[in-house]
Structure 1
Amino acid sequence: MENANEQEDELLALSSIYEDEKMFRPADDKRGGKLTLPLQLPQQPFYITLSEKQTTKALNLGSKLKKTDDGTYLCVNHLPPLVLHFQYPKTYPSADPPSFTLLSKWLSTKMLSHLCSQLDDIWLENQGMVIMYSWSEFLINEALPFLKITSPYLLNSHCEKSTSETNTESHQTNPSKMDERTKTEKEKLDSRAIQDVASQELLLKCIIEYDREESKNVFQKSYFMCSVCFNEKPGSDCMRFHDCSHVYCNACLKSYFVIQIKDGNVKSLDCPDPKCGSQATPLQVHTLVGNDLFAQYDRLLLQSSLQSMDDIVYCPRLECQTPVMMEKGSNLGQCPKCHLTFCFFCRMTYHGVSPCRVRKDELQKIRTEYENGDESKKLYLEHRYGKRTIQKALEDFYSEEWLNSNSKKCPSCGTHIQKIDGCNKMTCTKCRTYFCWLCSNILSSSNPYSHYNSPSAPCFNQLFQGMEDNLMDEIEELQNALLAELG
């Protein structure tokens, strides 16, 4: 009766110590239970050394890896726990210990056997007393130091050999000696020690998934200060960017994401920190903004990605707008949906090998691209618009540039007039209109010089303005020439 009372008290104590049902669950018959014990790591993050094959698998699972000259490492903050199933005999704790099995996904059966042996030793030291709390504390805090597991840890360093490896050795070793060695190894393994993983191929995946899940649970139970609203909130109401680990509350990020998506800035859903460029994942965006807005985000993101591709254009028909892929070396585009045939470059009706028609307002842009482009860019523009069109655009530009720098337009008919010498009263060679070179005003046909003689006129006394400067320049040139001749 006394043993039964102590067993009941111990189960109550374990329920009080480990309130989370994930850590302790008593058996239905109240004669035992299950303890799921998280391991205290020697350091965080804890590094696991990966082989080349494991590295590829970890990358496919989206894990963050650390690469050094010594190798590639998986960084984790949590490793799969030890699971202790125990059952009370009627004589516990007065005479006998609980019967138990010890399970782990990543520790080998040999390592678990060492732990089982240590649990037996702890019982012998405390025989006659309840032992479950001492066992659980040892497994949580001292199991890894006891097994001498440190970071970085080679994942398969202590795993048992596979059947294929054993079979290979059996062909290379005397069969009788092999059987004897196998028997000896089995005797060293404790039947209570169980490596609870379907295969070594799944081991890395189990570790990665457990670390993610446990990190998520820890995050949700922690509190964080949002750098946008400066309120402290639980992790369950916050979001953390994966690349930079910056944390913001869901309310602030949702408002930010909604504005960006509605404005079409789907590639700007990054960390609000101005010095950070981490991007939110599509799953994070979906969680915050909901189905309808996420559908818009997804559509705009696809459209933005297609627009950045040189060999993709949209069907010119506004009611269609289906993406069309360009065939290499051809300007023919054919919409797979509405079957419209069009020029891939100018989006007009397909015109074969003839150059694209160019609007006048596009010539300036084409000229700039041609002048600043490399050889391949120039060949592309010549192929698209025709070499003669490019040359004409350049000629027209240079002609207009020269005219703007060396002539003025007649204020009456717009003809370009160049002044070579003489006074500032000009006569248009086309319409014979008098105008002032300085202010471009039309002058009186009967008395054009009144513009320069009247004190109220804007160009008073400036009929010969500029001629004096030209004359002085000529005199200076003559003087320099004479001095050079004289020696």
Structure 2
Amino acid sequence: MLDLIWNEQPGQEVIYQWVEWVQSSSLSYLGFDEEIILGPYEIIHTGDKRAISESVSPDVDIPSLKSYNDEQCHENFVKNFHECHICYSEYPGGDFIKLSRQHFFCWKCMETYVGITAREGTKTKLSCPEEKCEGVLPSGILRRLLGDEEFQRWETLVMQKTLASMSDVVYCPRCETTCCADEDNDAQCSKCFFSFCSLCSEKRHIGTSCMTPEMKLLVLQRREKEMINEILSVKEILRDAKQCPSCKMAISRTEGCNKMVCNNCGNYFCYRCNQKIDGYEHFKGECELFPQEMIQTWERANARMVEGQILADLFGGRGHPCPLCAQVNAKVGNNNHIFCWACGNHYCYLCKKIVKRGSNHYGPKGCKQHTEG
């Protein structure tokens, strides 16, 4: 039968067709209904010499054939160009991270995917980017993509999350070593040997109750309130944030123009319409480079600066540096209450101190607000 398969395509590769036939059809061809026992070995064969193998056992031959096949498939993959399943760009096989025979992605996409997922810290394992694939990225590939320092941080984060999900895991109140609590909520630290109650973190109190149900309820309510406040804080931070259109990283603008650059992927986008841009041509249309309120603020600040500089020149002899920013401001008229045009703070011309409330600073017991000179 193997000769027949060979004669159908003379001169062509046949070994894998033979293996497939032997694996799928040999038992039925030979008339065996259940299984066949290979061997014994090291005996004299009198049949077809081509069937005599020099191997020790099938446990060696079959893995060797599979290993050879995998090596040849990998060599063919590296020699050819392939399309990334994320960015749909073509690259040489050597530029890919190959997770399986069907799932492979370019280095840049995998580096971005792994970096974002690791920084978010919301998962305890990094799986294949392919949808519905449950394969997990090997630690060797993760270390190459993240680097040693980031990989160490990721492993620490995963361990912390894993421990946090275990109900019997607690931390020693003295040295913060990870411990396991028993059914009675008692634990002993393996590092400093401190025995403590996992509920109140105090020294173990055998035979006495730790907390009443009312006290436990108060503790749970306090923890719930802390969690709610933390969630609200995150929501407030992200309320005005925009997601990068390329990598979806959340970015918030505190000042400056509407042309934003993502520190994660390096792409530029418009903070107003959230579109990916290149250069400043985008701002010749409906989107403006600077928000109107920011322009108005600058105009007011510049007008105040010009006015302050003019007054400082006119009344140079009555000028005094601001105690906060050292900018010279002039005293106009008899008013000793000086407003610094540079930093916006108020201070007293007489005592040279910052004034937060004029009614408290000036008066019978303080400085006089109006004096000559």
TM-score w.r.t. structure 1 length?
A: 0.36
TM-score w.r.t. structure 2 length?
A: 0.45
Q: Which has the larger radius of gyration?
A: 1
Higher relative contact order (CA 8 A, sep 6+): 1
